[in-house]
Structure 1
């Protein structure tokens, strides 16, 4: 069957529904022939319709286009593209391979792909919908008011026992839990389409390996089909939008972890799925011998983000997820690659980053950079762009060292708790641009951080050589699982120390999903290929910890959000601000006097002024005192003499058993001694000033 065709328009790439059919447009500079293929079924290896694009009529500049009259939304399609096959020159054309449309809005996902075969390749779907957003818009909370919860979309609900477990709709079922916990924003590991079976050849029948994390994007406009309850003919788009709408109704933001630094096509041995077969030498950074790919991503290839067509692709993708899918923000994986030029050099004035910052549609969207890459590029505190917040791995490492009681770590720890002004103040950024985290998907969970001194990645099939060896962890006396109740209680106390530090530090806190109830990965710090119980949330632990660790975390988040003193707009000055009565911050030792930095003893106290002159708020808040003791001795802290009308009450003490470890909002405990407080070994106490 051949339909009536028109010249088509080059103005909008992808497949676009028109009044009388579908317009198709695709970029390729070096192609000599392009054929549009229409398929009748997801399993078809041969198209039912083909349309050869005339390079004279159906090409405007480097955009090939055609209109198919009478074709309806839901049609399955792809491209066969021909040209020179000279890998040494960067050309990898193969007219026998069906290629995905880079601008496709949805891909077929109802069967297992084989990206190296001709028969089992995914197809693009002509997609449009009239989704009822019911007035929804992105929430766009200020960063200083944000508490991020990083989670895997499937993993959080897969074992929940709920009807839509492991899907977009399953995330909706988790809303009551997330609301009870008190976070403001959900940061989802990659949900753009990727190949689950990418690592299948590395596993065994007994221990299959699948791409779990999803850091191997196939198409930058497509929500993953397998995360949908019904993914027939693009219904995954509807379910994704439904998830976003319902999360927004509950006051929860949606931030996407996005991977614009590489694709799933890998190196010269990888499959040809889309970009390689469309215009390999344009889309990727290649060596002088263009058979080979620069591998700044550590996964085989690197997108050529300096190229205009790639820059436009990324901007168009970001705009789509904001304007059409209503997401609130993005966390950019290996973001340093986005600032590399055509020769791989890191440049300060990246055209892509400049375009993101200046784009009117993206203006209020959260932009969070992972400011490094796999080739040694490292930009923490120096990532270009005043609007970009940054994952602060210095915070992670120096907080871990301090609570391990490493020698002479108090000064570095204090700098991180105070907002990392050494990293961000010179570039004009604010404390909230520091995304503070102790754990993340890549690395130990919080429970494993206090249970393992060494990684245990043997399940990944790489003889435990994968994953970082620099975990800065301590097993609390016994490696791994134990039935020793004293060790288990000690580990829980240490987890609470990290949680208090994270939530009461200045900057934007990010909590790894499951840390609030002690999720474990059995010491595996690199579960990228573990789509199984090792990675999925064990909800039985929530019930076990509901009145202890979970309650503690919930109350702690509520405490942070209640008090503006923990969400400063500006960095501390260390002196009395104009109109105030006390210094905005005071660091002190056990004697109540100014802390003597670089001493061996890491016991450290700090007072944060809650006066409006110090916090930049409209009203005065409460002063806070935090007493940190990572040592093996009891430390009695004498309170600094700030003024004569300070009365301190106990709010948190991680050495006390629940529920006295943290008191509910508005509740405190009187002190035995109004002038001092003794902090147990490896614990932290928080005191609140009640003026009188």
Structure 2
């Protein structure tokens, strides 16, 4: 599919079931002047194809499709619209919204990027099952690099900037195993943003699933390939956040620029009782019909393409759409079946955002193995506990133990749970403890956009505060949240910038904020917080009991050894069922054959004294982590330990001095 260089020329192949004719429009070397328009002369089933002799890599071209314009039947062909090849692996300029793109019969050649014929590069796919992530770091290429003082200005905002040694040093210092790049495929602003002077900063609005965004990758896929090679040498895997659920062509008032112009009725899902009405399970105006063969093929070809560029795997935005059919969500949906039978993709890292906004869209825990999932329940339950919600301790324990309520039935272990407290979509970690509600007026929607219940709180007063006491309380809460994340079973994920103390001034939906105020401020980075996150990751690496892929059960051990977990009150006694509702302080004793550790959690506004359980013969308890005093020296602890207000301590069992 697409344009393929072969001996003597270029083969073109384009899908259009309902189209009558597909033309290839050729442009000069600068991509400015159309020099020829050639109909694809042959058709095999739904594939229009032909051979262009004498052509080769670097050729700039576009497509046009002739067919019926009957919106009430789902058909929106418009030969006046220049179309980007959905299989183009490179485009020559970014997409920009213009109302003309949605006006039937109006020429758009001056607005649409040109597709570029590219030569096939060597396959960089890493064979065999990918290594399970130990620590995922989610980042936006532009936000991460635009204000980094060690990155040359000419590289800032690009994939190449991420290869700078200072960036890699930071990732390695933190102990990152995998970087999860927010979308890098070519995207376009939502149509309401340009009139407001805003632009899409996140990239979750794609128009092509093969071509990198030219602003992020001026060198095309070569830039991603170079990054994957560089990171592999540094021991870091690259995960792509990929958007296969919708396109920027949006609803019936949106653009005709790619799939809509080639076969709107096939590529997008329409209401069964109203073929002209687009299904909007994504909230973005349209939904890809990923249960239809040509759409499944396009998705699979896209995933294989990115794997060949060297990526370790994928995070699927609004992943429920991947499993949707005409009858709803199914773990046996065609795209899942295609991925899981593929000898390479089945071994890649597969991470689903397990929800969309359609009927029955929240499917956390229901994706087939080996998919992992963003665990939104983990995020909410941890936030609710530390906010002080009554009865939240029991839910916290379930999340600390690996979320067996979500994954055990599908025979998946804790590593299926991607644990996070903050991500791109929501408050930053610093804002989570500084704002009781969202402050999104800068987004131009009167504060209506974004999550209305982020389970956030403010320590002292709402918003920024110069008061040292309030700043200290907020920093204390952030450290306690981070300790909870790294001491939980499952796979921890951190949003880039949270280790710097990043703020978005309470904006919990900052996709419209592509500006200096929202790019990471490296000059004001909190060095102590960076060191604290690095220490948490190191503790987790050193103690395999924290990352084990088995659920904690608390069942008695038949050989008389300790259970894998014992839940304790502050007085040292085991928790009973009646203790959980009003619990503010608890201990978690973890035990394996050769290792034991004790996690002490206190969300009280005052200190709590814990009675420590007996250590094994010849051993004692040694504190290795204290979230309220992260720089405190390690110490040997006797039979009792005071844990300060709203903090977490970690003790390991070690040989007595």
Task: State the partner residue of 2:648.
Answer: 684
State which drifts further: 238-247 or 378-387. Answer: 378-387
Return the match for 2:61 from 41, 62, 77: 77
Return the match for 1:474 from 450, 457, 472: 457
Give the 5 Å matches for 1:240-255.
Answer: 240-255=224-239
State which drifts further: 173-182 or 637-646. Answer: 637-646
State which drifts further: 462-471 or 637-646. Answer: 637-646
> Which has the larger share of strand?
2
> Are the aligned partners of 2:331 and 2:368 in contact in 1 as well (CA < 8 Å)?
no
Task: State the partner residue of 1:53.
Answer: 40
Deviation string 1:113-152 (CA, Å, 9 cap, x unpaired) is 6472431211111011556x8x883796532x52000110
Q: In structure 2, what is the Cα distance between the partners aligned to 1:42 and 1:346?
A: 46
What value does the CA root-mean-square deviation take over the aligned residues?
1.9
Q: In structure 2, what is the Cα distance between the partners aligned to 1:555 and 1:365?
A: 29
Q: In structure 1, what is the Cα distance between the partners aligned to 2:560 and 2:415?
A: 23
Task: State the partner residue of 1:591.
Answer: 571
Return the match for 1:607 from 589, 593, 599: 589
Are 1:28 and 2:16 matched, yes or no? Answer: yes
Q: 5+ unaligned residues in a row in structure 1: which ranges?
A: 1-12, 612-619
Count of matched residue pairs: 641
Deviation string 1:427-447 (CA, Å, 9 cap, x unpaired) is 111011000000000000000
Task: State the partner residue of 1:122.
Answer: 113
Task: State the partner residue of 1:298.
Answer: 283
Task: State the partner residue of 1:172.
Answer: 163
Q: In structure 2, what is the Cα distance between the partners aligned to 1:108 and 1:509?
A: 38
Task: State the partner residue of 2:104.
Answer: none
Task: State the partner residue of 1:405.
Answer: 388
TM-score scaled by length of structure 2: 0.94
Q: In structure 2, what is the Cα distance between the partners aligned to 1:15 and 1:179?
A: 40
Equivalent residue of 1:26, what SS? strand
Shift of 1:603: 0.8
Q: 5+ unaligned residues in a row in structure 2: which ranges?
A: 102-107
Q: In structure 2, what is the Cα distance between the partners aligned to 1:422 and 1:652?
A: 29
Q: In structure 2, what is the Cα distance between the partners aligned to 1:91 and 1:237?
A: 33
Equivalent residue of 2:384, what SS? helix
Are 1:238 and 2:222 matched, yes or no? Answer: yes
> Are the aligned partners of 2:163 and 2:230 in contact in 1 as well (CA < 8 Å)?
yes
> Are the aligned partners of 1:189 and 1:213 in contact in 2 as well (CA < 8 Å)?
yes
Return the match for 1:328 from 304, 308, 312: 312
Are 1:17 and 2:5 matched, yes or no? Answer: yes
Q: Judging changes above 3 Å, is the alpha-carbon distance between structure 1 residues 478 and 626 closer, same or farther for their aligned structure 2 residues?
A: same
Q: In structure 2, what is the Cα distance between the partners aligned to 1:599 and 1:40?
A: 71
Task: State the partner residue of 1:630.
Answer: 603
Q: In structure 2, what is the Cα distance between the partners aligned to 1:325 and 1:572?
A: 38
Return the match for 2:544 from 543, 564, 573: 564
Q: In structure 2, what is the Cα distance between the partners aligned to 1:429 and 1:22?
A: 46
Q: In structure 1, what is the Cα distance between the partners aligned to 2:326 and 2:359?
A: 17
Equivalent residue of 2:278, what SS? coil
> Are the aligned partners of 1:30 and 1:83 in contact in 2 as well (CA < 8 Å)?
yes
Return the match for 1:652 from 625, 628, 633: 625
Q: In structure 2, what is the Cα distance between the partners aligned to 1:518 and 1:359?
A: 42
Give the 5 Å matches for 1:8-407.
Answer: 13-42=1-30, 44=32, 47-54=34-41, 58-109=42-93, 114=98, 116=101, 117-128=108-119, 130=121, 137=126, 141-143=130-132, 145-161=133-149, 162-163=151-152, 164-173=155-164, 174-196=167-189, 198-203=191-196, 208-228=197-217, 231=218, 235-287=219-271, 288-322=273-307, 324-342=308-326, 345-407=328-390
Q: Judging changes above 3 Å, is the alpha-carbon distance between structure 1 residues 457 and 110 closer, same or farther for their aligned structure 2 residues?
A: closer
> Are the aligned partners of 2:428 and 2:502 in contact in 1 as well (CA < 8 Å)?
yes
Q: In structure 1, what is the Cα distance between the partners aligned to 2:289 and 2:13?
A: 21
> Are the aligned partners of 1:435 and 1:510 in contact in 2 as well (CA < 8 Å)?
yes
Deviation string 1:631-670 (CA, Å, 9 cap, x unpaired) is 11321111123644440011111222x521xx6xxxx312
Q: In structure 2, what is the Cα distance between the partners aligned to 1:433 and 1:691?
A: 34
Q: In structure 1, what is the Cα distance between the partners aligned to 2:617 and 2:318?
A: 51
Equivalent residue of 1:292, what SS? strand
Shift of 1:270: 0.2
> Are the aligned partners of 1:202 and 1:461 in contact in 2 as well (CA < 8 Å)?
no
Deviation string 1:271-303 (CA, Å, 9 cap, x unpaired) is 001111111110111123333211000010000
Deviation string 1:587-622 (CA, Å, 9 cap, x unpaired) is 1001111113434132111011142xxxxxxxx3x3
> Are the aligned partners of 1:139 and 1:253 in contact in 2 as well (CA < 8 Å)?
no
Q: In structure 1, what is the Cα distance between the partners aligned to 2:640 and 2:452?
A: 41
> Are the aligned partners of 1:136 and 1:245 in contact in 2 as well (CA < 8 Å)?
no
Shift of 1:41: 4.6
Deviation string 1:194-244 (CA, Å, 9 cap, x unpaired) is 0247544341xxxx210111111111111111113xx3xxx2211121111
Equivalent residue of 2:332, what SS? coil
Deviation string 1:549-606 (CA, Å, 9 cap, x unpaired) is 1111111111111110111121123134466721111110011111134341321110
Q: Judging changes above 3 Å, is the alpha-carbon distance between structure 1 residues 196 and 300 closer, same or farther for their aligned structure 2 residues?
A: closer
Equivalent residue of 2:655, what SS? coil
State which drifts further: 377-386 or 566-575. Answer: 377-386
Q: In structure 1, what is the Cα distance between the partners aligned to 2:269 and 2:363?
A: 24
Deviation string 1:401-458 (CA, Å, 9 cap, x unpaired) is 1111211111110000110011111111101100000000000000000111111101
Q: In structure 2, what is the Cα distance between the partners aligned to 1:678 and 1:259?
A: 48
Shift of 1:160: 0.9
> Are the aligned partners of 1:151 and 1:513 in contact in 2 as well (CA < 8 Å)?
yes
Give the 5 Å matches for 1:478-627.
Answer: 478-542=461-525, 545-546=526-527, 548-577=528-557, 581-596=561-576, 597-611=579-593, 620=594, 622-627=595-600
Q: In structure 2, what is the Cα distance between the partners aligned to 1:336 and 1:80?
A: 32
